[in-house]
Amino acid sequence: MRPLFAAHKDRDGLGPLYTPWDEMLATGDVITIHGPFRGMKRKPLIIDPARGGLVDEEAFVRAVDEALISEMGCDVLPGEPPASDNPSMRNAGRPNVIVTPHVAWASDEAQQSLADQLMGNIERLVRAEPANLLM
C-alpha cells in the first residue's frame, strides 16, 4: 500500500507532500475520510474511524445501494448511541458493512499503551519531572 495525503479539494501548490484531490480519489484503494463517491475509483473500501458526521450517511446508503463503494467500515456515528432511523444502521446488516460502537481505541494494544502512559505520568509526577512541555 502507498499512503497518500490528499490536498484540499480545488487547491494546488501545497507542495510535494500533498497528492492532488482528484488523483487521490481516482487512485485510492482504501480511503479513510469521505469524498464525493461518484468521483472515486470504482468501488473503494471506505473506513471512518475518526468522527461521526465525516461521511454523509444518506450518500453512503445510496453509494452502497448503487455499488459505488465495495465496503464500508464505521467506528463512529454522528449520534451515539445511534437513533433507530440512523442511515448507517440501516446498512449494518449487510455483509460488506461493518458498524462498531466507537471501540477502535479499545484493542488490547491500545489499552496497554494508555496504561503505560498513565503509569509513566504518575512516576514522573512522583519524581517531579516535567513531561509533555510545549516551548
For the chain, domain boundaries: 1-102, 105-135
pLDDT 10s digits, 40-61: 666 766 766 666 776 778 887 7
Peptide bond preceding 81: is omega within 30 degrees of 0, i.e. cis?
A: yes
Considering 51, 58, 66, 124, which one is annotated as catalytic?
A: 51
What's the whole-model pTM score? 0.52
Residue (of 28, 38, 36, 34) closest to 48 by Cα position: 34
Percent of the chain with pLDDT over 90: 10
Considering 80, 123, 124, 129, which one is annotated as catalytic?
A: 80
Q: Which fold has domain 1-102?
A: Rossmann fold (3.40.50)
Residue 102 annotated to the active site: yes
Residue 8 annotated to the active site: no
Residue (of 52, 22, 12) closest to 4 by Cα position: 22
pLDDT 10s digits, 75-122: 888 888 888 888 888 888 888 888 887 776 778 888 898 899 999 999
Considering 34, 62, 90, 102, which one is annotated as catalytic?
A: 102
